Amino acid sequence: MDRDMLLKSLTELDFMAVDIGLFLDTHPTNKDAIAAYNKIVKAADTVRVKYEKIAGPMCSFRSINRCEDAWAYAADPWPWCADANYSISEEECC
DSSP the chain: --HHHHHHHHHHHHHHHHHHHHHHHH-TT-HHHHHHHHHHHHHHHHHHHHHHHHH--S-TTT----SS-TTGGGGSPPTTSGGGS----HHHH-
Domain total of the chain: 1
Tell me the pLDDT band of 65, cut-offs 50, 70 and 90.
Answer: very low
What pLDDT is attached to residue 45? Answer: 92
Domain that holds residue 56: 3-93
64 or 76, greater pLDDT: 76
How much is the average pLDDT of 56-79? 60
Tell me the pLDDT band of 91, cut-offs 50, 70 and 90.
Answer: low
